[in-house]
Structure 1
Amino acid sequence: MDAKKVLEAALLCAARALPERELRSLFDGALDTPQLRNLLQQLKLDWQDRGLELVQIASGWRFQSRPELHIFLERLNPDKPPRYSRAVLETLAIIAYRQPVTRGDIEDIRGVAVGSQIIKQLEDRGWIEEIGYRETVGRPALLATTRQFLDDLGLQSLADLPLLQGEDGDDSAAAQTHLFAALEQAAGAAQAEPFTPDFFADQGMALVNAPAARLAADISDISATPSIPSPPPEPGQ
């Protein structure tokens, strides 16, 4: 049996991203990791001019629709996702870049109180979680982003986010605008409440002036809201 066809069928039929250890199990030890990755790269090239693309994210490998097709596919799903406020997405951005952080850390950066409902919304979405407690008075919970956050934004790791530095630059504002827009798109945020472009710069967290090609690739990855095949409903559903 053609191993590449087996991988293709497994990935297309899966309702979630498949890690490499599960993909190797398809072949009962006949393929090692380098061979598997070579086949996955070949498969990725096979699909480079088609409506779906093979990508690697934090949880593994999956097929997803190409970003430029989302406008058409959304017509099949008229229901809009929950909309999140600017405060929710600013909180998410701070956690992503400064993690692990406490609620007090977030309040110090934003300059306003962070309501419990904001944290709960992000927890309900599966984008943040408590990972421990800071050993200080009151032992406040430490918050960090989850693997689900990376998967939903099409990232392999937090390293795929545009880097931060202490000094602002000419390209930082544009990069931040794209980043915030991508978060809004992924979370279904209200467009009536856009982020302030220099929000991070005001906090001494300006985006690095990365080469244009690298920055464009980062933003493209973050903006890609995935659309993967879903299994048929169970009888009676």
Structure 2
Amino acid sequence: MNIQDAKRVLEAALLCAREPLPLRELKLLFDDPVDAVTLRPVLDALAEDWADRGLELVELASGWRFQSRPAMRLHLDRLNPEKPPRYTRATLETLAIIAYRQPVTRGDIEDIRGVTVGAPMIKQLEDRGWIEVIGHREAPGRPALFATTRGFLDDLGLASLAELPPLDGSGLGGDPNAGQTLSLLPPDPVLPEGAGPELRPTPGVEDRQDDPAEPADRATAPNLARPDGADEVVAPSPDDAVTADVLPVAAPAASQAPDAEVAADPRPPTETT
């Protein structure tokens, strides 16, 4: 196989593709059988040819694609002044928990965040193509197990879940083992979605403000950290308690001085029906 001809073929296919192309599809471009071991060095050489240009060839979770370099974003935004949709901090927290602790149920997310996770929030992430249901936990009610998709990694510019930033020592929800969950993540999520909007919290939204929805059934979603499946009741923080000010109470009307005529009447009061 001629390397220069192969690079031109790959370049044309990748520039015209609307989605990242995996190696199994790129191999179909050639008449002679080509394996991944032979094709990968050609792709690396093609990426090197584009090193000083406005586009770059990158490998993502779902395949290879050309994309604009981050330095070009300021100029490209002038052609498309519309701002991408932004997500609340609560939505991004939920997405982060799913990414690092997957597979998780809605009840697991609520145990970590300490607040109710609304169904519209989960549906929003599903509609965006960032999470999906990969199964159900064998527990009462069989709650759905959520995990991230390849489209989620593509939108972040990552090739695998191992490239996610490592967690600090505190972990998620105070779990010291949360940073070790990357090795337990499923290796093959669903097919990718399109390029996504910015993952930034919406300004002015409180950290603990969630979408209104009915709370998930905790009985159907036991915490992963509790093997006995017992429900855990989260005690309210002392800071959340509302302190009532002591207000002066006006004297009741019955304690006021009686009328002079009533005071002079020696007969006891009679209850009327």
Aligned counterparts of 1:91 and 1:108: Cα–Cα separation in 2: 11
SS in 1 for 2:198: helix
- Spell out, residue by residue over 1:123-154, the C-alpha distance to the aligned partner (whole angstroms, 9 max, x if none): 11010011111111111110110111011111
- Quickly say closer, same or farther: Cα 1:18–1:190, change in 2 above 3 A: same
Aligned counterparts of 1:20 and 1:13: Cα–Cα separation in 2: 16
Contact residue 59 and residue 151 of structure 1 kept, 8 A: yes
For the aligned residue pairs, the C-alpha RMSD in angstroms reads: 2.1
Aligned counterparts of 1:57 and 1:161: Cα–Cα separation in 2: 13
Q: Percent identity?
A: 66
- Is 1:89–2:101 an aligned residue pair? no
Contact residue 20 and residue 64 of structure 2 kept, 8 A: yes
Aligned counterparts of 2:170 and 2:123: Cα–Cα separation in 1: 32
Contact residue 82 and residue 188 of structure 1 kept, 8 A: no
Matching residue's letter, 2:163: D
Structure 1 residue 115: Cα displacement: 0.4
SS in 1 for 2:126: helix
Gaps of 5+ in 2: 172-195, 209-273
Match of 1:110 among 105, 108, 113: 113
Instruction: Kindly indicate whether structure 1 or structure 2 has the higher relative contact order, using CA contacts under 8 Å at least 6 residues apart.
Output: 1
SS in 2 for 1:186: coil
SS in 2 for 1:75: coil
Match of 2:125 in 1: 122
Give 1:152-191 correspondences, 5 Å limit. Answer: 152-164=155-167, 166-167=169-170, 186-187=198-199, 189-191=201-203
Length-normalised TM-score, structure 2 = 0.62
Structure 1 residue 163: Cα displacement: 2.2
Aligned counterparts of 1:45 and 1:119: Cα–Cα separation in 2: 40
What is the aligned residue count?
181
- Quickly say closer, same or farther: Cα 1:38–1:194, change in 2 above 3 A: farther
Length-normalised TM-score, structure 1 = 0.71
Contact residue 59 and residue 159 of structure 2 kept, 8 A: yes
Gaps of 5+ in 1: 169-183, 197-237
SS in 1 for 2:21: coil
- Quickly say closer, same or farther: Cα 1:195–1:8, change in 2 above 3 A: farther
